[in-house]
Structure 1
């Protein structure tokens, strides 16, 4: 049978440090998970999301926004405009009378299409049995006059839904999070009219060049974020449905992203004045073109232990076997470029944060919580083993919240300031 060398998973691995070469699979023998099926029965078990730790209950809603100022670059029709689905998580005072939000706000047909397009498997259809502990269409809390804003970008081949360990947590601590689904680069986007847009084939089954990745981040992902900023400003001026009017502090805004989304957050910090600080979670610095990668505003990189060494050029990124020699050389050259950009980026007002304890790239997604929905798929075998997902989430959330408190709220004596905060699984270098 024909071997699938590059899937969504391995393509991400090669140039955006998303996964390792273990994601490589064949259509004849996809993965060996029979032992896992004996211990995980997806029909009888339901995944549990972490309890949020902030003082607020959490509400959520979705927006379907059309940017008529931009043509859609991923389709040949010049009449197509860039359209985005954006999910917001925000603090609310009460969920009484509100429906609990589904884990993925798609129709059952949309979830089936998404699962089929990126190989998530039949068991994934049960994912909306998860209790999200958040409420649909609530009103923004009245406990504060204004709330700071966080823009979030998912990784390539991922989606808004796959980072609720973080988005819900931030909202519970008083941040309004707008998670941007980058159409054509996610696991699949379903718009309110029922149209479904899968990941662009080039980024699913091909090996995009460094220039293609740079252009995608700089010309599409960052512009998506800038468009969402304009929409957030409009909500702040006009919205009464969710109590957002005059309540969104658009002068205290940060960008956070994972993998390719982390690169987008970093690049957006450089070019968008509204963004005051940014965090790149385990992502190579794509898109930092046309100028140095040095940051002039507060910036943080959070990496797992292995990728931290890869980003610094201390070890080589593993590549799948069987690749053309020219492709291998091009990739190695790209890794050198990323290493140079990384060195420049953390030389400014930046924090270089390493999460150890067995964390992998996937540890910064919800995937480790979703095992029972991923059986008999390539995703199952790339999940981290031997560690509790909650441990990685706890460490990551602590440093992310500290960074936001310091850069948006002006707080001192955070974890980032304290020399007495010591743990073997967390390293912070400024």
Structure 2
């Protein structure tokens, strides 16, 4: 049975809409782990290859009603109004994974730590995470506790997204947050390392999942970090801080939170996958400062995409409302996600030395597809980029 926070929220669900399941050979399970209620703890949803389990249910996409309030705060709209709208549009959707299904022990799996974007939370990228798990990865989607998410539950007190205070400098806040986010990704890795080594970890959430079944099932020599937007910046900060991560995949990265001084300390390969409509010259210039003659840094842009082409929202709204809310681009969202996932898988195989067939998609890493642009569609001048020219306010306008 699903826990209290997984109880379905009533809503409207079209038969033609839904989060696509993974396309790989493995069925996908998921479970939540919270270690310690404090900010020193860790909270993530684990996606993993699972055994068939007829009794397992698929959990709700939105874990509880409070997340609607957090999304409303991020978008700066009335909570009561937003709750009704979000509940109607999204309340009944479920993610493409079986809740607490038995872990499939089948050798050792590579690990991906996933970082969500600003105003998001651990379940909003289930299409990406489920696809990776279906291909034989274990994926930990971290819920960040830096007040950049829609909410986070500490000691049963909901921690909502925090906007800038009057007179507060954005870079200072966001840089502190990205450092905390990176530490949280590293903490999730350390906890999974303990579980993999057979140590008992106390889950403060009600759970029937057998975490000990992961013992000796993770290949931590094959670990990557992946994220979207603010999560893309988190990828770069995390790579700088922890060399256990062998490579990173950064989706439509928001570079503003990062100090450029860290760039020379990032030694691992990075794949930047950008949308066509979100990026701007200053941001691309900062990405290009990570270019290296000796370390593979790749960039591709998916034609017809918007910033919200990466989270699950793009699959859960019809064309009209999706275009109005900028949750859909001109490209079919399934095609866009397929290109992004295949390029990511090819890159992960290359740099984690996986014995898979993902190298069939190697051309996508170089932008070789009619729906891809090698590099960027943005015309970049040679002048110095403004340091922090793209604010959260402008990011929110991407949603409104």
TM-score range, shorter chain: 0.7 to 0.9
The structural deviation recorded for 1:387 is 2.8
Instruction: Report if aligned partners of 1:355, 1:395 keep a CA contact under 8 Å in 2.
Output: no
The residue aligned with 1:151 is: 113
TM-score (norm 2): 0.76
Aligned twin of 1:281: 251
Q: 1:301 aligns with which of 272, 279, 293?
A: 272
1:26-425 correspondence runs (5 A) = 43=12, 45=14, 47-66=17-36, 81-106=39-64, 108=65, 110-118=66-74, 119=77, 120-126=82-88, 127-142=90-105, 144-183=106-145, 184-191=147-154, 194-202=156-164, 208-218=169-179, 220-238=180-198, 241-242=210-211, 243-285=213-255, 286-293=257-264, 295-307=266-278, 310=280, 313=281, 335=282, 338-348=283-293, 349-371=295-317, 380-410=324-354, 413-416=359-362, 422-425=368-371
The number of aligned residues is 342
- Rate the CA distance shift 1:214–1:51 in 2: closer, same or farther, 3 A: same
Distance 1:164 1:206, change over 3 A: farther
Q: Cα distance, 1:299 vs. partner?
A: 1.1
- Aligned partners of 2:309, 2:261: CA distance in 1, in Å? 32
Cα displacement (A) at 1:60: 0.4
When the two chains are superposed, the root-mean-square deviation of aligned CA atoms in Å is 3.0
In structure 1, the residue corresponding to 2:219 is in which secondary structure? strand
1:362/1:342 CA distance change after superposition, 3 Å: same
Q: What CA distance in whole angstroms lies between the structure 2 residues aligned with 1:357 and 1:339?
A: 16
Q: For 1:284-308, what per-residue CA distance to the aligned partner results, in whole angstroms no more than 9, with x for missing partners?
A: 3332443444642211111123445
Report the TM-score, using the length of structure 1 for normalisation.
0.71
Structure 2 CA distance, aligned partners of 1:379 and 1:200? 27
Of the two structures, which has the highest relative contact order with CA contacts closer than 8 Å and spacing of 6 or more? 1
> How far apart are residue 165 of structure 1 and its match?
1.7
User: Residue 182 of structure 1 aligns to a residue in which SS?
Assistant: coil
| 1:116 Cα offset (Å) | 4.4
On the 8 A contact 1:190/1:197 being kept in 2, the answer is: yes
Q: Deviation per CA, 1:29-76, whole angstroms, max 9, x where unpaired? A: xxxxxxxxxxxxx74625311132100000001111238xxxxxxxxx
Within 2, Cα distance between the matches of 1:210 and 1:170?
33
Change (3 A) 1:63 1:379: farther
Larger Rg: 1
5+ residue gaps, structure 1: 1-41, 68-79, 314-334
Comparing 83-92 with 44-53, which one deviates more in the overlay? 44-53
Structure 2: runs of 5+ lacking an equivalent: 1-10, 201-208, 377-400
Per-residue Cα deviation, 1:252-297 (whole angstroms, up to 9, x for no partner): 1100010111111112112202111111111133324434446422
